[in-house]
Structure 1
Amino acid sequence: MTSYSISEINNILKGELIGDTDQTIIGPEEIQKANANQITFIGSKKYTKYWEDSKACAALVSKDVEILPGDNRVFIKVKNVDLAMAKVLELFTLMPPVFETEIHPTAVIHKTAKIGKGSKIGANCYLGKDVELGKNVVLYPNVCVFDETCIGDNTIVWSGTVIRERCIIGSNCIFHTNVSIGADGFGYRPSEDGQQLVKIPHIGNVIIGNSVEIGANSCVDRAKFSSTIIGDGCKIDNLVQIAHNSVMGRSCIMAGHSGLAGSVTLEDGVIIGGSASIKDHTTIHSGATICAGSGVIGDVEAGKTVLGYPAQDARDMLKQWATVRRIVKNK
């Protein structure tokens, strides 16, 4: 079992120690669930009320927390509790599943595929014609990578993921289970006789930058023509839909159940809250935030926060909701 002393943890965090403990830390846990050998965190003053009853011997606390730790307990004061906790979690991260062979004998690999040094391919994977894997790529069992797709160095692809033909994937990406990349976009038009729907072919591809993470069961559709693009550093939650010809800039965040319709543009640093939906051919400018559950039907200015359906300035929407509540209450 991995364990650390408080001093070893603080040497990594470079925080300020308040108090002392002789307990050894065997892992992190929530403040109300922790035991005497675990470290927890207090991110703001509102959580200090739980400390007295907590069994944790140590906590990461923000600079504005004023309570004392108590006997045989210790605080590590840090500037950013969330980032400090991320470092602690890294200390206790378990090893990933083991590959007994670098390329499992059940994998089906086209003779033209190129596999970089140190790459690992699990059971029942499929690599099509002219696929290229960079160095140290990991494909867990049951991954399909179709023809002419390129995957950059150190990218990890978890089981069930399908990457369609001609996609370009950057380095240091993580795709969780059952991600779909490069499926046909959703496009239909009524036939001339009005009796059926005609499928619009999608002949483009998907381009994904470096250090992109995509959550389980999310979908990134190929473009009608040209490319659907996800920029460097974007982080996408589970169950997210990114439609054909959408373009995401650098370091955008999309939370679960959110979706982009076709040809949406997100500039750098945009945040999309859970279950938010963005209308087609809409541009969300740099640094804007779309609050959870909102429906965006028009362009959003840089740095603006919008809320509601249809989405508008968050402060205006909150005022409207407050006014409606007062009217209803006074009836």
Structure 2
Amino acid sequence: MSRVYNFSAGPSTLPESVLLQAQQELLEWRGSGMSVMEMSHRGKHFAIIAEELESDLRSLLAIPDNYKVLFLQGGASAQFSLIPQNLLNGKTKACYIKTGAWSEKAVSDAQNYCEVVLTASSEAEHYSHVPEPATWLIDSDAAYLHYTSNETIHGVEFPDIPDSKGLPLVSDMSSNILSRPVDISQFGLIYAGTQKNMGPSGVTIVIVRDDLIGHAPKTTPSVFNYAEQAKNQSMLNTPATYNWYLVGLVLKWLQAQGGVAAIEQRNIAKAAKLYQAIDQSALYHNPVAIPYRSRMNVPFILADDGLDKAFISAAEAQGLYELKGHRSVGGMRASIYNAMPDAGVEALIAFMAEFERSH
């Protein structure tokens, strides 16, 4: 077997030690006589997995006691509709910042439930930056302010937490959660799909402040009601048990790396090396304004797009996979999440230099 360097935007590469532990425990978990996949979510063995999962996440992110942690299904995309259903609380408006494809989708779904106030948008500039905060329109009558902290497709990342002017701040952190420390107390709600920095697909994390839940309309299905899910420890219906287990293994791996602060330093170094290689090149170009470049998702364009297919083919021959950019923007994209080792980034940089020399 020869494992490649997987630069996929999600589902993404996982720590090899996590996969090996899952392999070792596949048939039997901790002397239970059964696989995690076979366990009842109501049983004593899975209760241990669930408790450790939430405890480890709370520890890594320093989540305050007045926040609920939910482990839901439906992906982050389901939250585009569930957030207005749960957080409007009788209000008719919500503010959104649009900086890429995923915040664009969030706006589209929210419009089915409320009036969307477009606080800011960089769409006219092809989502190449975060609009200057001085230009933002924040409606004090809105229920919340929503933003996407890292745009996976366009490679735009907020360098700081936005000032919501007193509105509950809501953030889609699917592609940069656990990659840098964040002050949870500044948020009303954070949500994230796990398939980028936290494990496999199939689980969505929702971290929500206590006072914001319990106000969903009676028409909201119980499985989509945050208060009902919180009351039932995210087990109102059968959860994705094996995926919870795998997310738990990734969290323990992250703890072993020194936690979020330590992994941030590695992420800064990896991204800096890759951006330097792009900026010093005559063949490659990154379209994002420097202050807003993502540490997680690095898009780059070849000066001659006729070389795109040759680049992908040659990269795969060197064991560098999933570098093709999203179909909506083209070019290339290297996703370098927490689990991408330094050696993977260095191999990509060396390949890019050799490809430029030969073309």
Q: Shared fold (TM-score greater than 0.5)?
A: no
Q: Comparing both chains, which one has the higher relative contact order based on Cα–Cα distances under 8 Å and sequence gaps of 6 or more? A: 2
Task: Calculate the TM-score normalised by the size of structure 2.
Answer: 0.22
Structure number with higher strand proportion: 1
Structure number with higher helix proportion: 2
